[in-house]
Amino acid sequence: MWQSLRVDSVNVSFGHRLWWVDAFIGDTERGNPAVVVLLERPLEDQALQQIAFELGVSETAFLRRVGDGWSLRWFTPTVEVDLCGHATLATLHVLLTELAVPGGEFYFQTRSGVLSGRRLKDGLLGLDLPRAYIEPLDDSVLNGTLGPVREVFQAGPQSVLAIVEDYDTLCGLSVDPMSLFLVPSSIVIAACHGGPDVDVSIRVFAPRLGLAEDPVTGSAMCAVAPWWVEKVGSPTVSVRQASARGGVMHARLFEKNVEVAGAARTFFEGYLRA
């Protein structure tokens, strides 16, 4: 047809493949969207950031084959981050489900070191993320942004974990992102004991990373699992993220890492013209 229109040629070359994946889904929970971009060639950091801005999801994962492993980087619409759980789960899902890459264990070179992932039973995928070590903080660090809290902890260099009274309190939090921006932490995790069919429920706020509230946050398990062990003694914990989309996560604490498990599904796939 194009010959009849006197077009000399048709450009049928495609760019980098991408997949929109919802990570940490449940029976009724929609999970957290991440876009996984498979890079056929390296791109400049500025180009990666612009792509993440255009895609507009909480995290875009850029995946590239490096030797026998994979290089993985994560960008919010505004900044590159050191660690992202849900985008890593989405990446593992793409490798196993969309690309059918063989192998029992996958290794990703990241800004947080080498992370690993695998397929688990019952349709779950598992990731090993670095555990955080929690230390008590005075609640004044929050400047009252979460209202009354029971306990506050520093959880690694970039996260604060605040324990609120109960599930109703957690769901009722009305947080001003600009006030939270003044808290000296990139990520603020609000948590409580219990919730529908889980041990712990959380909400996560990250205005310094360009995210007023994150739908589901796998990296939060790096703090929640150690806290749960200190309080209850169990190395395993089930967690619901009480965001508008909702999500379900499972975590198991080890000496140096936390295995975070969840389910994912592909929403759509395509090509990036970049």
Q: How confident is the model at residue 272 (pLDDT cuts 50, 70, 90)?
A: confident
Report the pLDDT averaged over residues 73-86.
96
Strand spans (E) along the chain: 16-25, 32-38, 59-66, 69-75, 80-81, 106-110, 113-119, 125-130, 134-136, 151-155, 159-163, 187-193, 200-206, 211-214, 236-241, 247-253, 257-272
Is pLDDT of 7 > 50? no
pLDDT of amino acid 15: 66
Q: How confident is the model at residue 274 (pLDDT cuts 50, 70, 90)?
A: low
Residue 6 lies in a domain: no
Give me the domain span that covers residue 187: 134-256
pLDDT of amino acid 10: 34
Residue 2 lies in a domain: no
Is pLDDT of 152 > 80? yes
pLDDT of amino acid 2: 38
pLDDT of amino acid 9: 40
Is the distance from CB of 82 to CB of 112 less than 8 angstroms?
yes
Residue 62, classified by CB atoms within 10 Å of its CB into exposed (0-12), middle (13-18) or buried (19+), is buried
Residue 9 lies in a domain: no
Whether residues 91 and 145 share a domain: the answer is no
Whether residues 213 and 138 share a domain: the answer is yes
Query: What are 193-226's pLDDT values in tens digits?
Result: 999 999 999 999 999 998 899 999 999 999 999 9
Whether residues 46 and 144 share a domain: the answer is no
Residue 39 lies in a domain: yes
Strand spans (E) along 87-193: 106-110, 113-119, 125-130, 134-136, 151-155, 159-163, 187-193
Residue 90 lies in a domain: yes
Whether residues 139 and 252 share a domain: the answer is yes
The catalytic residue positions are 59
Query: What are 24-72's pLDDT values in tens digits?
Result: 999 999 999 999 999 988 899 999 999 999 999 999 999 999 988 899 9
Q: Phi then psi for 157, rounded to 5 degrees?
A: -75, -15
Query: What are 167-180's pLDDT values in tens digits?
Result: 999 999 999 888 88
Query: What are 220-260's pLDDT values in tens digits?
Result: 999 999 999 999 999 999 999 999 999 999 999 999 999 99
Whether residues 102 and 49 share a domain: the answer is yes
Whether residues 95 and 147 share a domain: the answer is no
pLDDT of amino acid 68: 83
Whether residues 67 and 86 share a domain: the answer is yes
pLDDT of amino acid 69: 87
Whether residues 124 and 141 share a domain: the answer is no
Percent of the chain with pLDDT over 70: 94
CATH number of residue 175's parent domain? 3.10.310.10
Average pLDDT, the chain: 92
Which residue did the predictor score with more confidence, 89 or 13?
Answer: 89
pLDDT of amino acid 181: 87
Percent of the chain with pLDDT over 90: 84
Residue 1 lies in a domain: no
Whether residues 182 and 196 share a domain: the answer is yes
Domain count, the chain: 2
Residue 184 lies in a domain: yes
Residue 10 lies in a domain: no
Whether residues 146 and 78 share a domain: the answer is no
Is pLDDT of 5 > 80? no
Is the distance from CB of 81 to CB of 124 less than 8 angstroms?
no
Whether residues 118 and 145 share a domain: the answer is no
Q: What is the pTM of this model?
A: 0.91
Whether residues 106 and 157 share a domain: the answer is no
